Structure 1
Amino acid sequence: MIGVGEKFPTFSKLAVTSLEKGKEFETITSDYLENDDNVWTVMFWWPKDFTFVCPTEIAEFNKSFGEFRDRETRLIGASTDSEFVHLAWRNNHDDLRGLKFPMLADTSKTLAQDLGILTNDNEKVAYRATFIVDPTGIIRWVCVNDLNVGRNVKEVLRVLDGLQTDELCPCNWEKGQETLTA
C-alpha cells in the first residue's frame, strides 16, 4: 500500500458531481490535488455502492462538509463502481441526494490498485481507505479499515487539524489544545 510521504498517484477519472440533468459527470484528475491555493484533500474509499455501512460513512462526511471546507480541505469520495451506479445510488438514497462532494468512479480499478487498497479476493473491491493529501500532492495520512467496519469522520478531522498545525501534537490532541515543543 502507498504510504505517508509518497506522492499521490496520477489519475483521471469521471465523478458524479451533480444530480442536474446534463451536468451529472465531471472529470477529476490528480492535478486537482496539487494547487497554489493551499487546499488539502481528503479522499475516502468505500467497497461498493448500494450496501449498508458505506452510506452511513458518506452521509457523515457530507454532514461534516462545512468543517472540512473551513479547514480549506476538499472531499472526494471514491469506489470502483461506475459513475452510472454512483448516480443511480445518489438518486435512490435519501442521505446521498444532497452530496456536496464528488463521487469518483474508478471502474478500471487502476487508482485503487496504485494505492494498494484492493481486496485480494476475486471481487477486487476497495477497502475503506482514507487519504489526507497536502496541497503539494503528498500523502500525509492513511487509514484503512476492513470491509465491515466504518471509519470515524471526527478522527479524520482531528488528524487533519494536527497535520495543518505543522507542529508536534501529543496523543489525543484536539484543535485548540497546546502542541509540544522539542
Structure 2
Amino acid sequence: MSLVGKEVLPFKAKAYHNGEFIDVSEENFKGKWSIVCFYPADFTFVCPTELEDLQNNYEEFKKLGTEVYSVSTDTHFTHKAWHDHSEAISKLTYVMIGDPSHEISRNFDVLIEADGLADRGTFLIDPDGVIQSVEINAGNIGRDASILINKLKAAQYVRKNPNEVCPAKWKEGGATLKPSLDLVGKI
C-alpha cells in the first residue's frame, strides 16, 4: 500500500546533529518541507556517498525551505562515531536520526525485517506532515540529490498552483499543464 498522501505516523527518536544528541518526532516534519532519507547502515559503502551528496546539496534544500533528515536502524551513538571517523560523514550538518527500535522504519514501510536494516527509501514530506513522494531503491543502488531537488520543486509548485500539474522532465520555470476536458486525448 502506498504511503503517498498519508500523514507521517507518530514516533520519538534520538538523533545526532552538529555535535549534540537531540530528540526528534513526527512534529519536526510539520511547518516546512522535509526530506527523510533512509539508508541501510552506518560504516558501509554506498550510504556515505549518498549522505555526502545530500550534504553537498543541503544549502539548496534550505533555500527551498526544506530540512533534510537521514535515518538508519543504528543508534544516535553510532551516528556520532561514524561522523567522527568518516571524511564524508564528518561534513554532515543535517539531522541523523537513530532508529534502533525499528519504529520509524516500520512506519515508513522500509524495514527489512530479516536483516533489521532499512531499505534505501526517500520520502518528500509537505509542511502538513503528509508524504508527497516515495522512492525505494535496492541496497546496491545509490540515489542522486539533484533529482530529489527537481521533485521537491515540482511538489512545491503544484502545492502553490493546485490547478496545474508538472509533466515529465519538468524543470523550474518550465511549462505546466492545466488538466481539462480540452486536453483529454491530445497529449
TM-score (norm 2): 0.90
Q: 1:179 aligns with which of 176, 179, 182?
A: 176
- Alignment CA distance shift 1:173-1:56 (3 Å): same
Q: How far off is 1:2 after superposition?
A: 4.9
Q: State the partner residue of 2:17.
A: 17
| Residue of structure 2 aligned with 1:154, choices 134, 137, 146 | 146
**CA displacement 1:3-44 (0-9 Å, x = unmatched):** 10001111111000022xxxx200011111122xxx100000
Q: Distance in 1 between matches of 2:52 and 2:148?
A: 15
Deviations 1:65-115, CA, capped at 9 Å, x for gaps: 011011100000110001111100000001111212010000100110121
Give the Cα separation in 2 of the matches to 1:9 and 1:155.
Answer: 26
5+ residue gaps, structure 1 = none
Where do 1:16-55 residues align within 5 Å? 16-19=16-19, 24-35=20-31, 39-55=32-48
**CA separation in 2, counterparts of 1:98 and 1:145?**
24
CA contact (8 A) 1:2 1:115 kept: no
2:16 partner amino acid: V
After the TM superposition, list the runs of 4 or more consecutive aligned residues in structure 1 that deviate by more than 4 angstroms: none
Correspondence 1:139 to 2:131: yes
More helix by share: 2
Equivalent-residue separation in structure 2 for 1:180 and 1:115 (angstroms): 31
Give the RMSD, CA atoms, in angstroms: 1.1
The count of aligned residue pairs is: 174
Larger radius of gyration: 2
Aligned-pair identity in percent equals 32
Asked if the contact 2:37–2:123 (Cα under 8 Å) also holds between the matched residues in 1, the reply is: yes
| Whole-angstrom distance in 2 between the partners of 1:114 and 1:96 | 26
In the alignment, residue 168 of structure 2 is paired with which amino acid?
C
Matched residue, 2:184: none
Alignment of 1:54-73 (within 5 A): 54-73=47-66
CA distance in structure 2 between the partners assigned to 1:100 and 1:87 by the alignment: 12
3-state secondary structure, aligned to 2:91 = coil
**Structure 2 residue identity aligned to 1:62:** Q
Q: Which runs of 5 or more residues in structure 2 are unaligned?
A: 159-163, 180-187
1:170 aligns with 2:167: yes
- Within a 5 Å distance, the mapping from 1:75-86 to structure 2 comes to 75-86=68-79
CA distance in 2 between partners of 1:152 and 1:61 (Å): 8
Q: Are residue 124 (structure 1) and residue 116 (structure 2) matched?
A: yes
Q: TM-score, length-normalised on structure 1? A: 0.92
SS of the residue corresponding to residue 107 of structure 1 reads: coil
